[in-house]
Chain A
Amino acid sequence: MNEKIAVNRRLFLKGATVAGAAAGSGAALVPTETKALTAAGKAMPPSAEMMRAELEKPTPIAASSSEGGRPGSDFMVDVLRALDIEYVATNPASSCRGLHESINNYAMNQKPELLTVMHEEIGGAMAHGYAKVSGKPMGLLFHGTVGMQHATMSLYNAWCDRVPMFVMSGNHLDAAHRIPGVATTHAAQDPLAIVRDFTKWDDQPASLQAAAEAMTRAYKISMTPPYAPVAISLDAHLQEMSYGEGEKLRIPKLSKTAPPAGDSEAVRDLAKMLLEAQNPVIVVDRLTRTPRGMPLLVELAELVGAAVVDQYGRQNFPSRHPLNQTDRARPVVAAADFVLGLEVSDFWGIVNSFNDNPSQKQGTRIKEGTKLATITTRDLYIRANYQDFQRYQGVDLSIAADSEATLPLLIEAVRSALTDSHKTAIGKRREALAKAFDQSRNRLISEAATLGWDETPISTARLSAELWAAIKDHDWALVSRDARLSNWPHRLWNFDKSYQFIGDSGGAGQGYGMGAALGAALAHREHGRLVVNVQGDGDLMYGPGALWTAVHHKIPLLTIMHNNKGYHQEVMHVQRMGNWRNRGIERASIGTKIQNPDVDFATLAKSMGMASFGPVTDPNELGSVLKRAVAMVKAGEPVLVDVVMQPR
């Protein structure tokens, strides 16, 4: 087998042309007319040709080599197709060249289609955002060792955010046959050890049949709640080998796993606790996995008359629903006699306070006797090293299950225990909560949103109101976290569909924003939605190459630069230390501000072919700029608008 590969390699490296001929019996594709292929090492074709290659109607090219057989990586493409992987984001690498070439010439860059990313971290972030909109993983094809080292943080974000991700990395395990020098430097015995703490499963199959099984198992595990990244090391040898007539390779059936729902007795107890409570509160973070999540939560909250506090890990609850008490979270939790957490990552932080000042004073946020319950897949799967599981919080009832899958059972249990006297109390509570919602929202808009309305830098409320005017008559989605905008979008806009918001990075690793927005926008593209990303300036500068990917792959997306000229969270941390130590905070800008020189984001975008506006400093100009930008995005372009804004 190894000799065969050696022959293949020699031919390849000589720049041999590959003529069309019937491949081995495993080949699903019809041989085509003889057609010369450009071998590796030749000059890149001009970009027009490249574009044609990517856009033209595909005619798969059968492989041929002196000893016959079919490329192993063609079979891997068949597996990817069986898994319904539509896109594979990659940064090209020698250890992945076999599969890369098969996607180009066997799949003809159609299902999967390659997305070129300029850093593996951007690819990981794209897969992250894509999965939260499409509900399925994107493939990632990364170089072993150095590529995976680049990718790690994006996997950690996805891990913390409970997002599926399908990572394939290359390797050259066989020391006797790998290329000396760089390829050997990039080889490893256990290449996925680096991500094992924050992937749910990984494997390094030793045969093509094992690869098909590993890939299928990986997909299934990634898509079983709690969703998480998985990684498969596809050795270059397997990719590059040819397999012959006699080898009967089989793609196993993908059996999707039904998500785990709560124990029926525990669910009945929970229904009772909800109905017995005078002031029940539901705190929700990453409930919504599918479009079913939001309507189910609405049904439950209305049924029991519970206040809902959304932590915005996903779009869990309509922003204008009268039971939405997110802006009153503190007083509502303080008054609660029962708090239910649904897929909350930090339940301790809901129930307790922690003051980040020298006293580190900690206290409770709830009344004595308040009962607590949780439903979360976090109780089903946990790893030891990284501390994303947060502090331990004891509760009265803990259900290890997927919340979305459990809600129908809980709703049924509540319905069957509901009495008339419950109904009267629930009706009154709903009325009071609706009134509180109206008052709180009106006060926020009339007393807080107006402040600094006409000022420069532009206020986050003004930006949010201008954006709302520009998008509200379209089918829109916001694909960035809005805490940096003091949550004004959720206060001002009408979020009533789960795809309209995808939460944040999960692991708070910087360099997520633009990539995740792109991946999300790609998934929204087929629905023709108008997608908005309010992008942190520091975050973009981790991987500005993402702008190029947006243009190259024609992903329509409106990016608003939240240009506050610094790593603002860190500015505040350094200030805090300076003040604790009574040394003042005048020098907090050292190492935290992005100034001298200011980054010209509009020019940065233009340099990669992206239309751009700004920097916009006058709030009164914002409306017309956004209108023009939206029209361009609706016509299919990515556009960037640089807005000089208040820090938060």
Chain B
Amino acid sequence: MKSLSILSLVAGLSFCGSQAAVSADAERGRQIFEKVGCYQCHGFQGQGANTGPKLAPDPLPAEGIAAFIRNSGETLMPNYVEAVLPDADVADIHAYLLTIKKPPSVKDIPLLNQR
């Protein structure tokens, strides 16, 4: 129930990552990314905010992400232990981050070129 309520937040939102690249794992990874709250600090598409850095596009390698999630050291990122976020889930999150397309280039966005 409770986790469903988080999921319902994004129900009906279009998934704008590369449709072609969506594997079963990536789709599951997207759901986990939302369910375990990565999006709260990193944004729904891992785009980053003042609460957490950008994770995608071009994510860290899978091992890098896994290592950071397990032991984020003296940072503001909370650790996730295996019991609450199994390795398989981390791999799926990585697969999801890989599907996130590059955004348009700044020169193609007039709104970002206004004075």
A: which residues have CB within 8 A of B? 355-357, 359, 361, 445-446, 448-457, 459-460, 462, 465-466, 468-469, 472, 483, 486-487, 492, 494, 565, 568, 571-572, 575-576, 578-580, 582-590, 593, 595-596, 617, 646-648
CA distance A456 to B105 in the complex (A): 18
Does B81 have its Cβ within 8 Å of any Cβ on chain A?
yes
Smallest CB gap from A644: residue in B: B13
Which B residues, 19 to 73, have Cβ-Cβ distances below 8 Å to chain A? Answer: 35-37, 39-41, 43-45, 47-51, 54
Q: Given the complex of chains A and B, what is the CA–CA distance between A113 and B50 in angstroms? A: 42
Shortest beta-carbon contacts, A-B, top 5: A584-B84, A579-B78, A451-B47, A452-B47, A648-B49
* Sample of 12 more A-B contacts, CB < 8 Å, known A586-B36, A648-B41: A451-B54, A452-B45, A454-B103, A455-B47, A456-B14, A456-B16, A459-B43, A459-B47, A460-B49, A465-B114, A468-B111, A647-B51
Interface size bracket, B side:
35 or more
B residues in contact with A455, CB < 8 Å: 16, 44-45, 47
Roughly how many angstroms separate A287 CA and B109 CA in the complex, as a whole number?
36
Shortest Cβ distance from residue A126 to the other chain B in the assembled complex, whole angstroms: 28
Chain A at the B interface: SS class? loop
Query: Which of A355, A455, A647 gathers most chain B CB within 10 Å?
Result: A455
Residue of B nearest to A577 (CB): B78
Q: A582 touching B45 by the CB < 8 A rule?
A: no
Nearest opposing residue in chain B for A363, CB measure: B74
Q: Which residue of B lies closest to A356 (CB)?
A: B76
Residues from chain A with a CB closer than 8 A to the CB of B74 are 355, 357, 359, 361
A487 cross-chain contacts in B, Cβ below 8 A:
50
Residues of B with C-beta under 8 A to A647 = 39-41, 43, 49, 51
- Contact A582 to B5, CB < 8 A, known contacts A451-B47, A571-B40: no
**B13 contacts A648, CB within 8 Å?**
no
Contact A595 B37 (CB under 8 A): no
Among candidates A357, A446, A459, A576, residue contacting B106 with C-beta atoms closer than 8 Å: A446
> Is the pair A590, B2 in contact by a Cβ cutoff of 8 Å?
yes
Contact indicator A585/B37 (Cβ below 8 Å): yes
Give chain A residues whose Cβ lies under 8 Å from the Cβ of B2: 586-587, 589-590
* A571 CB contacts on chain B under 8 angstroms: 37, 40
- Determine if B105 and A450 form an interchain contact, defined as CB atoms under 8 angstroms apart: yes
Taken together as a complex, chains A and B put the C-alpha atoms of A453 and B102 apart, in Å, by 10
Contact present for A568 and B40 (CB under 8 Å): yes
Chain B positions within 8 Å of A593 at CB level: 5-6, 9
Pick the contact of B48: A355, A357, A448, A585 (CB < 8 A).
A448
Cβ–Cβ contact A454 & B104, under 8 A: yes
Known A-B contacts A448-B48, A590-B2, A647-B49; the reply to A453 vs B109 at CB < 8 A is: yes
B48 adjacent to A451 (CB under 8 Å): yes
Return A365 CB to nearest CB of chain B, in Å. Answer: 13
- Chain B, Cβ-Cβ closest to A565: B9
Asked if B84 and A450 make an inter-chain contact with CB atoms under 8 angstroms apart, the answer reads: no
In the complex, the answer to whether A453 meets B9 with C-beta atoms within 8 Å is no
Out of B8, B43, B109, which one reaches A595, CB within 8 Å? B8
* A-B pair number, CB within 8 angstroms: 142
- Find chain B residues with CB under 8 A from A456 CB: 13-14, 16
Is A445 touching B106 in the complex (CB atoms < 8 A)?
Answer: yes
B13, B83, B111, B115 — which one has the most chain A CB atoms within 10 A of its CB?
A: B111
- A575 is contacted by which of B9, B13, B43, B78 (Cβ under 8 Å)? B78
**Is B18's CB within 8 Å of the partner chain A?**
no
Interface string of B71-115 (1 = CB under 8 A from A): 000111011110111000000000000000001111001011011
Question: Is the Cβ of B104 less than 8 Å from the Cβ of A596?
Answer: no
With A466-B111, A572-B51, A595-B5 known as contacts, the answer to whether A583 contacts B84 (CB < 8 A) is: yes
Whether B76 lies near A355 (C-beta < 8 A) is yes
Minimum CB–CB distance for A208 against chain B, Å: 53
B84 touches A648 (CB 8 A): no
* Residue among B3, B8, B79, B84 making CB contact with A596, cutoff 8 Å: B8
Q: What are 16 A-B contacts with C-beta separation under 8 Å?
A: A361-B74, A446-B105, A450-B106, A452-B44, A454-B16, A455-B16, A466-B111, A486-B49, A486-B50, A588-B40, A593-B6, A593-B9, A595-B5, A646-B43, A647-B40, A647-B51
Q: Which residue of B lies closest to A579 (CB)?
A: B78
Instruction: Tell me, in angstroms, the Cα distance from A356 to B74 when the chains sit together.
Output: 9
In the assembly, what is the distance between CA of A596 and CA of B3, in Å?
13
Across the interface, which residues of A come within 8 angstroms of B85, CB to CB?
584
What's the nearest-Cβ distance from chain B to residue A453, in Å?
5
Rounded to whole angstroms, the CA-CA distance of A455 and B43 in the bound complex is 11
Q: A580 is contacted by which of B40, B54, B78 (Cβ under 8 Å)?
A: B78
Residue of B nearest to A492 (CB): B112
How far apart sit A126 and B105, CA to CA, in the bound complex (Å)? 42
Instruction: Indicate if the CB atoms of A648 and B51 lie closer than 8 Å.
Output: yes
In this complex, which of B2, B48, B74, B115 has the most chain A Cβ atoms within 10 angstroms of its Cβ?
A: B48
Please state if B5 and A596 are interface contacts (CB–CB under 8 Å).
Answer: yes
Contacts of B112 on A, CB cut-off 8 Å?
Answer: 445-446, 449-450, 465, 492
A647–B103 Cα distance when bound, in Å, is: 19
Q: Which residues of A contact B109 (CB under 8 A)?
A: 450, 453, 465
* Bound-complex Cα distance A580 to B66 (A): 17
Question: Which of B6, B13, B78 is within 8 Å of A576, CB to CB?
Answer: B78
Contact of A579 (CB < 8 Å), options: B79, B105, B106, B115: B79
Minimum Cβ distance to chain A for residue B39 (Å): 7
CA distance A71 to B45 in the complex (A): 65
**A453 to B106 Cα, complex, angstroms:** 10
The answer to whether B16 touches A584 (Cβ under 8 A) is no
B-side contacts of A449, CB under 8 Å: 106, 112
Give the chain A neighbours of B48 by CB distance below 8 A: 448, 451
Q: Closest approach, in angstroms, between the C-beta of B114 and any C-beta of chain A?
A: 6
Find chain B residues with CB under 8 A from A596 CB.
5, 8
CB within 8 A of A582: which of B39, B40, B81? B81
User: Which residues of A are found within 8 Å of B54, using beta-carbon distances?
Assistant: 448, 451
Closest chain-A Cβ to B65's Cβ sits at a distance in Å of: 16
Is the beta-carbon distance between A579 and B45 smaller than 8 angstroms?
no
Q: Is the CB of A586 within 8 A of B81?
A: no
* Chain B residues positioned under 8 Å from A361 (CB to CB): 74
CB distance from A319 to the nearest CB of B (A): 12
